[in-house]
Amino acid sequence: MDAGLSALMPKKERKQNGKARYMMIDLDDIMTNRLNEMPIVQIEELSDAIDRDGLYSPLEVYPNGDGTYTLIGGERRYTALRALYDHGRLDNPEVQCSVRPKPADEYEELLQMCDSNIVREDEKSAKLGHVRMLMRAIELASASQKQEWKNETIAYFANLDPRKIGTREMIAFRMQCSPSTVQKYINAIHGDGKENPEQKVAEENGMEEKDAERDRLKEFMSRKKDLFERSAGKMSKVLGVKCSYRNGKFIISPSQESCQAFAADYNALVRQFEAMGSADE
């Protein structure tokens, strides 16, 4: 880039939604974040893309109070920009940044970092980084912070028993994926102690989609069973016989007072419900 990034971006800082502002900051004044668990990979390819097309998304930082800034999001882009400048491919060291208020504590900082990166990183190793940071955030959360997070998770997973909401469900809520997917990431992190980003989670493409589909199927089957059980109870009251739903079938046991003439009707009704169950399954 002949004129540097500053030629492509406005010098004047401007506010955004009252919470963040854009401004040009020297690369030497930007610090990496010690809390970041995201993989810093494919820097050469990213450097070439920025050199060719420019920086599409600003770095996200907060002020340290001494003229320097700490990264919240965009450390890969920062590393790529640093490489461009150090190799003489970037004339101006000033880069566009979105400056946000300094987080109140480490817990809030971790959540902001996860929110900043989650929409940009699709690699499995990046997802593992998110899980590690969110696990750390849960450890740091105060009782009220953890309860607020849990309440949001309960509202998001409306079909789960609130008593079963734990770490993996809370992480799944923040990452917008299924709890079973989060569990696989946790297993990959703690399973052998090596924390290999490519192990297990990279073996199956579309793993999250499969888990989500499996969860939807379980929910449907649970609702179907509940509906049929309630229907069996109503049939018992209306027909005056014992009617139950077990193992995917309606079972009717006529009482001694029932007329044999109704037997054919009962059996026909059972076959009708069995046909409905087979069609749904």
Do 95 and 133 lie in one domain? The reply is no
Report yes or no: 95 and 82 within 8 Å, Cβ to Cβ: no
Do 159 and 222 lie in one domain? The reply is no
Per-residue pLDDT averaged across 52-65, rounded?
A: 92
Domain residues for the domain of 108 are 104-203
User: Residue 196: which residues within 8 A CB-CB, separation 6 or more?
Assistant: 188
What pLDDT is attached to residue 195? 44
- Looking at residue 57, the DSSP 8-state letter turns out to be S
Do 94 and 120 lie in one domain? The reply is no
pLDDT at 248 over 70: no
Split into its structural domains, the chain has a count of 3
Give backbone dihedrals phi and psi of 223, rounded to 5 degrees, phi first. Answer: -65, -40
As beta bridge partners, residue 262 has: none
Do 108 and 52 lie in one domain? The reply is no
Do 112 and 88 lie in one domain? The reply is no
Do 81 and 25 lie in one domain? The reply is yes
Do 111 and 83 lie in one domain? The reply is no
Q: Specify the amino acid at residue 46.
A: L
Instruction: Compute how many other C-beta atoms are within 10 angstroms of the C-beta atom of residue 97.
Output: 26
pTM of the full predicted structure?
0.54
Residue 91 lies in a domain: yes
pLDDT in tens, 11-27: 333 344 446 789 999 99
pLDDT in tens, 83-96: 999 999 988 899 99
Report yes or no: 207 and 184 within 8 Å, Cβ to Cβ: yes
DSSP 81-124: HHHHHHTT--S--EEEEEE-PPPSSHHHHHHHHHHHHHTT--SH
Which of 102, 131, 160 is the endpoint of a domain? 102
Do 26 and 11 lie in one domain? The reply is yes
Residue 208 lies in a domain: no
Residue 209 lies in a domain: no
